[in-house]
Structure 1
Amino acid sequence: MQISVTFKNLDPSDHLKSYVQNKLNKLDKLLDNPAEANVVLSVEKIRHIAEIKIIGDRLSINCREKTSDMYSSIDMALDKLEKQIKKNKQKIRNHRQGTRSELKGRETLPEEISSSSVDESSEPQIRVQNIDFKPMDVEEASMQMDLVPDNFIVFTNSRTNRVNVLYRRKDGDLGLIQPRS
C-alpha cells in the first residue's frame, strides 16, 4: 500500500508518520487489491483531526475523526476504516453469492439431487427491517438521506399521501420510486 502522510498546522513527526504507516499496513491485509492511502493529520485549536482516504480498484473509503489526542484520533479513524472495508467486502461477497444462487435456481435438477446437493447455507439470508415512515416532501427526504446509513429512505409523500422510496443510485444521484396514480 502506498501511504502519504500530510501534516497540517502540526510539526511533522517521524513517530506519528511511522505509527500511521504501521497501522495502515495491518489494514492492507484486508484489501484484495493494492490501494493508495492519503492521510492528513491536522490541529485546529484543541481538536486533533485525522482524515484518511483509501483509494483502490473499485474502492474509495473516507473517514475523519476529531478528538483531543492525535493518537486516539488516528486509532478511531482506523477502526472506522476497518469496519467500512469489512462492510464493503461483505457487500461484494453477498453480491457474488446472490448471482450464483439465482443461477442455481434456474437449473432444472431432479428433486432428490437438488435437495441433497444444494447447500442451504449458500442461500442469501433476507434481513427484515421494520421501519416507521413519516410524512415529508421529497426535498426533506433527500436531506434525510445524508443522515441515514442506508442507501434508501421510505417515506409518505406529504403532497400525494402515498408511500415513496428515495434511493441513492450507483452514480451518486438520487432516484425516486412512487406508485402510479
Structure 2
Amino acid sequence: MMYNIRGENIEVTPAIREHVEKKLSKLERYFDQEINADVHVNLKVYNNKQKIEVTIPMTHLVLRAEEVHDDLYAAADLVVDKLERQIRKHKTKVNRKIREREPAKYVFANNVESNVAVQDEEEDLELVRNKRFDLKPMDSEEAILQMNMLGHNFFVFTNAETNATNVVYRRKDGRYGLIEPN
C-alpha cells in the first residue's frame, strides 16, 4: 500500500506518519496478495478535536472510514477498527455469494475471526424490511422538504427534469447532498 497522508491545520510529523502507517498496515493481513492501492489519509484539527479520514480505493471495493476524537492516536486506532469491520462484512458477503455458486477459496486470507464472529457479521447483514412505493416526479428542493416531513435521512425520488431516479440525503454537517446516476 502506498500512503498519502495530508494534514489540515496540523503538521504531519514523522511520529504521526509512522503511527498511522503502522496501524493501517495491519489491514494487509486480510488479503491474499499485496494490496496495490493508494491509501488516502486526511488528518484535521478543529475545535480541539482530532479527525482522521481514511479512503482506500480498490478494484471492487472502496473502504472509507472517519473518526473524531480528542487524541489523534486514539482516532487512528478507532478508524482502523472501523475499516476492519468493513472488510469482515465484505468478506462474509463475498464468501456467502461464492458458496452459493460453488465451493471456493477465500477471497481474503488469514481468517482470524472465529465462527461466532462470522455468524455475528452475517446476522448484521440480514434484510429485515422491504418497502415498495411509487416514485413521484419532483425537483430536489421538494424532495428535501418531503424527507424532512418524514423525518428520514434520505429520500428517493424521480427527478422531474431528467426523469432519472435520484436520492437526496442529509449530511453529517447538516447540509444536503444529491445522488444522481450517470
- Whether TM exceeds 0.5 here: the answer is yes
Instruction: Name structure 2 gaps, 5 residues minimum.
Output: 104-121, 137-142, 156-178
Higher relative contact order (Cα pairs below 8 Å, separated by 6+ residues): 2
Given that 1:31 and 1:85 are in contact with CA atoms closer than 8 Å, whether structure 2 keeps it comes out as no
Q: TM-score, normalised by structure 2?
A: 0.57
1:53 aligns with one of 42, 46, 55: 55
Given that 2:38 and 2:56 are in contact with CA atoms closer than 8 Å, whether structure 1 keeps it comes out as yes
1:72 match: 74
Q: TM-score, normalised by structure 1?
A: 0.57
Instruction: Name structure 1 gaps, 5 residues minimum.
Output: 102-124, 148-171, 175-181
- TM-superposed deviation, 1:146: 5.0
Given that 2:23 and 2:76 are in contact with CA atoms closer than 8 Å, whether structure 1 keeps it comes out as no
Kindly report structure 1 stretches of 4+ aligned residues shifted beyond 6 Å.
Answer: 125-128
Q: Does 1:22 align with 2:22?
A: yes
| Equivalent position amino acid for 1:23 in 2 | K
Given that 2:8 and 2:42 are in contact with CA atoms closer than 8 Å, whether structure 1 keeps it comes out as yes
Q: Which protein shows a greater Rg?
A: 1
- The verdict on how the C-alpha distance between 1:146 and 1:91 changes in structure 2, with shifts beyond 3 A counting, is farther
For each residue in 1:158-179, what CA deviation from the matched residue of structure 2 results, as whole angstroms up to 9, or x when unmatched?
xxxxxxxxxxxxxx879xxxxx
Structure 2 CA distance, aligned partners of 1:94 and 1:59?
16
2:96 match: 94
Provide the identity percentage.
22
- TM-superposed deviation, 1:36: 2.1
| SS class of match (2:102) | helix
- TM-superposed deviation, 1:64: 0.8
Give the alignment's Cα RMSD to 1 decimal. Answer: 3.7
Given that 1:38 and 1:52 are in contact with CA atoms closer than 8 Å, whether structure 2 keeps it comes out as yes
How do 1:13-162 and structure 2 match up within 5 A? 13-33=13-33, 34=35, 35-100=37-102, 131=129, 144=152, 146=154
- TM-superposed deviation, 1:59: 1.5
- The verdict on how the C-alpha distance between 1:146 and 1:77 changes in structure 2, with shifts beyond 3 A counting, is farther
